[in-house]
């Protein structure tokens, strides 16, 4: 499954509603939609072929981490070092592209390659230092990324083995390597792939998207050493050009407020189950309904205060890698898993457990 940062409904609006002055953006959106559909068909065909022939093989595997640097974790944890590999598609659709920077190499002449390299490092650093996780698969998997994919490609995605970045159309979207939260989001799809492996449809799919948003926000907050109160809680801040009336693709703290624009429309994310969207579009609304668990996490982190990657993040991470969350887990099931995680780590009478219950209740998932 290819997991994209920009949902298809936004690209369709750009393709359909952009005025004459934004026709280059409209054309770029149309190309992105065609390419996205083609990638999805190719991926499904490969999966079907593998399933018919044999069991599917296992998938291979702004604070900066300059060079081959060990990342010290909490006391008693081993030091972990990232291995990064950046390639350049040179505005084609061919992957992986030409190697432009590897682990420990000096900075490239290309800003996009350096942004990707640094963003992969920041994501590795959060998971290593906060959770003791050694890369996406917890076994030191190489972090791979390709920049300059396609022609003015309006998206970034995780394809099961690597991150892929477009440059944006320059009218609505800037280059996607410029947002650390985009990088953290897409790489977290890899962590989910190796842990809960949440199905990409309906509530499990919305949880898949939400988990990526949560840890993307934590990657950015960790890199900036921001407390929950200081953080923006935005995903994709800085992606939009000045032509767009919006600040980001999504807001964890206030779903539905990230943008309100003539071309893009209004951010459709609900913040409670009362606004849950039932739709067949976008795999059952995975980019829309993710706003509900997103808000639950932000509420928990803000109630607890301090650094969100600590207590709130540990509860979410424990639930994600624990036995209660699997491919078909829905919102209620994930809430129960976080409750179990909070009780196990902090106790039933703890501040953390009380704050968690209040957060889920406020979004309409737990009484």
- Tell me the DSSP string of 259-327: BEETTTEE----SSGGGPPP-SSHHHHTTTTTHHHHHHHHHHHHHH-S-TTTHHHHHHHHHHHSTT--T
Q: Is 145 helix (H, G, I), strand (E, B) or coil?
A: strand
Check if the beta carbon of residue 29 is closer than 8 Å to that of residue 14. yes
Catalytic residue among 103, 115, 125, 186: 186
Which of 71, 163, 132, 81 has the alpha carbon at shortest distance from 313? Answer: 132
| Domains of the chain from N-terminus onward | 3-189 (3.10.170.10), 202-362 (1.10.390.10)
d(CA 162, CA 93): 14
For residue 205 the two structure tokens come to 């799919």
Which helix or strand (DSSP H or E) is residue 336 part of?
Answer: helix 331-346
Q: Which helix (H) or strand (E) holds 222?
A: helix 202-224
> For every one of its 367 residues, what pLDDT tens digit does the chain have, with 9 covering 90 and above?
689 999 999 999 999 999 999 999 999 999 999 987 766 544 444 433 333 333 332 322 233 333 334 444 455 566 899 999 999 999 999 999 999 999 999 999 999 999 999 999 999 999 999 999 999 999 999 999 999 999 999 999 999 999 999 999 999 999 999 999 999 999 999 999 999 999 999 999 999 999 999 999 999 999 999 999 999 999 999 999 999 999 999 999 999 999 999 999 999 999 999 999 999 999 999 999 999 999 999 999 999 999 999 999 999 999 999 999 999 999 999 999 999 999 999 999 999 999 999 999 999 998 7
CA 129, 130, 132, 133 torsion: positive or negative? negative
The partner residues of 251 in beta bridges, in order of sequence, read 234
Query: Among positive and negative, which fits the CA dihedral 204, 205, 207, 212?
Result: positive
What is the rounded distance in angstroms from the CA atom of residue 275 to the CA atom of residue 91? 40
Given phi > 0 = left and psi -120 to 50 = alpha, else beta, which region is 284? left
Q: Write down the catalytic residue from 148, 185, 189, 287.
A: 287
pLDDT, position 155 = 97
Concerning whether 287 is annotated as a catalytic residue, the answer is yes
Up-side HSE of residue 317: CA atoms within 13 Å toward CB?
Answer: 23
């Amino acid at each position: 499954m290819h997991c994209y940062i920009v949902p298809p409904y936004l690209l369709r609006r750009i393709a359909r509603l952009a005025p004459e002055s934004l026709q280059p953006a409209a054309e770029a959106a149309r190309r992105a939609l065609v390419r996205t559909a083609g990638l999805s068909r190719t991926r499904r065909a490969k999966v079907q072929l593998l399933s018919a022939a044999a069991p599917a093989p296992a998938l291979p595997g702004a604070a900066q981490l300059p060079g081959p640097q060990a990342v010290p974790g909490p006391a008693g944890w081993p030091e972990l070092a990232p291995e990064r590999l950046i390639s350049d598609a040179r505005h084609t659709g061919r992957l992986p592209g030409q190697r432009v920077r590897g682990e420990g190499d000096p900075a490239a002449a290309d800003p996009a390659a350096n942004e990707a390299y640094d963003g992969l490092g920041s994501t590795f650093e959060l998971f290593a230092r906060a959770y003791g996780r050694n890369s996406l698969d917890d076994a030191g998997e190489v972090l791979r990324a390709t920049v300059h994919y396609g022609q003015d490609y309006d998206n970034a995605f995780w394809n099961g083995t690597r991150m892929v970045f477009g440059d944006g159309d320059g009218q609505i979207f800037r280059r996607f390597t410029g947002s650390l939260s985009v990088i953290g989001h897409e790489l977290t799809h890899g962590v989910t792939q190796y842990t809960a492996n949440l199905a990409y449809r309906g509530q499990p799919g919305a949880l898949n998207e939400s988990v990526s948003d949560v840890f993307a926000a934590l990657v950015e907050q960790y890199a900036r050493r921001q407390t929950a109160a200081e953080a923006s809680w935005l995903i994709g801040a800085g992606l939009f050009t000045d032509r767009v009336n919006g600040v980001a693709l999504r807001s964890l703290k206030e779903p539905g407020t990230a943008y309100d624009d003539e071309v893009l429309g209004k951010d459709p994310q609900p913040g409670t189950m009362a606004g849950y969207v039932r739709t067949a579009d976008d795999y059952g609304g995975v980019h829309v309904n993710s706003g509900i668990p997103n808000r639950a996490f932000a509420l928990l982190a803000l109630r607890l205060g301090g650094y969100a990657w600590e207590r709130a993040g540990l509860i979410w991470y424990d639930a994600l890698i624990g036995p209660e969350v699997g491919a078909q887990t829905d919102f209620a099931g994930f809430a129960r898993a976080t409750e179990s995680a909070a009780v196990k780590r902090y106790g039933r009478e703890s501040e953390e457990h009380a704050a968690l219950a209040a957060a889920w209740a406020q979004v309409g998932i737990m009484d």
